[in-house]
Structure 1
Amino acid sequence: MNVYVLGVAMHPGSASIDDKRLEEIVHDTARAALDDAGITRADIDHVTLGGCDELDGRGITSMLMAAPAGAYLRDEMRVTDSGLMALCMGALRVATGRFDCGLVVSWNQTSIGSVEEVTRMRAEPFTLRPMGLNRAVTDGLFAQAVARGTGTTEAEVDARVQRRMTAAESNPRRASSRGRHTDAGQPSGYVAYPLSGRQRAPVTDGAAALVLVSEQWLAAHPQARPIARIGGAAWGVDSYRLDGERLGSLAVYKKAFADALARAGLDSLAELDAVELEAQDGWYDAAFDKALSAPPQVALSPSGGAWAQNPYFCTGLINAVEAVLQVSGRAGAVQVKDARRVAAHGTHGFAQQGHAVVIMERAAA
């Protein structure tokens, strides 16, 4: 897949961005990505959006967000699963040969409403919704499966969370705690046994954007210098059921990584320098880490992951930006030395039902 990243941007994250409309957040992020790429909106021929109607509190959110994202009078497509799935779609569009230069933009202003209430309304309406099933409950069920299946303890999870928080403190792109968030102030006790509030990454406001170009576009613009190449990508969706087999096997998660590695021409995880995981709490962090069985030299979530910045719907795309910054040597204080290949992981759905993996490679000099 000869698809290259020419520029990236992420909006400064915050618990609540109160001084901008969502349109302004998205516009500023798309503009920053174009500036980073050294091009203008006139150079792009398409835009791929990642946006969620329910979380934005709008019907057909792309009707309002397409123009601020740069899609006015441009070919536009929207993905509703997650920000990283938007990147997968954007890369495929370039890989078809029909498009040459485009933007991938995703966002989430989670402070406008409760993520828990939005996810509650996504439950099957006749049985599960009356039970009060929401993100916290399904994450608690996942945590139970991890504890029983792998022997993971609450103390181990707490230690993992502390490590991620320490890494996040070093990340210059970490979200500020400015403003009040609707889901802030989670109790330190259990929210859904054995998951406690202190083990969950706080959700934030934010946005991310990448400029993707084809090999043909680069040949026609020799002055342009890509900062990364997409080596491979893969994704999958597991069963909607919340039984022990689905929660404990992580079959789709493992397959997404295996397929992405194969498409990048890599034999094993040992050929990666880092993996940016989307783990919304410490139990996911433990389960994903153990399922990967990555060797010690592969850094896991050097950015701090969701504890650095977690605009929920587009956290996976934030991970992709962090991966690009790593392979281009621009990650700052969280830079992994001589990083050449970094995987970005994103999830969506109840108990992280869907998974996507994109492998970023250092662009040839």
Structure 2
Amino acid sequence: MGLKVLTLIKLPYTLRMKESKEIIAKLKPTNEFSQFNITFYPNSQDYEEYYNPHYPNNSCLFIEIEAVTELYDAGNYKVYDNNDYYHTLEVPEENRKLIFEMLRKKLNSYLQALNEHTKMFWIEDLPMNPLSSTIGKTNQFMFLNANQEVKTSSRFWWKTLDDYQIELEAIGRSIYSIDESIVNKCDQLRVLGHPWRTHLNKAKVALFESQFNEFIIYCSIASESFIKQLTMPKIYGLENDIILKKLVRTGNNKIVDSYYNVILKYIFGKSLEDVNPNLYKGMNTLYQFRNALMHNGEISKKELKKAGYQDEEDLTFSICKNMFESLDETFSTVLEIMESKIK
């Protein structure tokens, strides 16, 4: 029987339109969606709730998707609201998240093509909060029978907002809400300019926006920047050490084995593998994923299986969250190795 999802997405950027009128893109059917239509709306007072007087009328600030998936049966869900226009269905959160993950993946693939064809370089993949499944900044939606006609004039939405910055419980270190003492104290603080901190923070943001490929890249940049900065020969008066020079020269193509194992042990007497083999294994997995992205453009099911994720088809929030926590612990462990040697 299938299931229809109708969702309105507020875009985090503006699309230029030749004319101030609705445009509908009807995408080809796939295994996931037998129907997938995208409506681009102009910035018009006809859509009062979404109208922005600061933008020209031929600007698209929001889109609506009408899609039908045959992977779910509307008959399995109870009616949430039975009104004169629609019989909206109550789809459990777990199923809703899976449906929106499929929808976002297809939508982002289309947006990449739109970026290339229009040369609007600012068109990017739409982020999705993995906790609420909100696509973009605001996501309004309803689920219907697959053959339900959609009336242009009426909508009865469920609405979710991307509020992870408000609702998120602390991950890793505690999150502190600002108060008068904090905002004044920060003027007296100076944060050391470590590039790896910047990329580690970018990785965390990518994690909570379901940008999992970007998450892997940011983590790999952070880990390489961190270990190279920590093992700079001149810090320890070893800039003329012939052996270390050779290790550094040959180590650039094998960051994990060369730096987190051999060079770390040469300078400090212990390696990450010596101290915590599980963290060392986690670093190898990170670079295995990073290399897959750099060389193949994706992380295959084979790569996931090799890393121990036999039941996964793609990277997930859970996998990436575990990797982030492992990387954070790796940095702490390596710093402890350094500090113990210096003492």
Please indicate the TM-score interval, normalised by the length of the shorter structure.
under 0.3
TM-score (norm 2): 0.25
Q: Which has the higher helix share?
A: 2
Task: Name the larger-Rg structure.
Answer: 2
TM-score (norm 1): 0.24
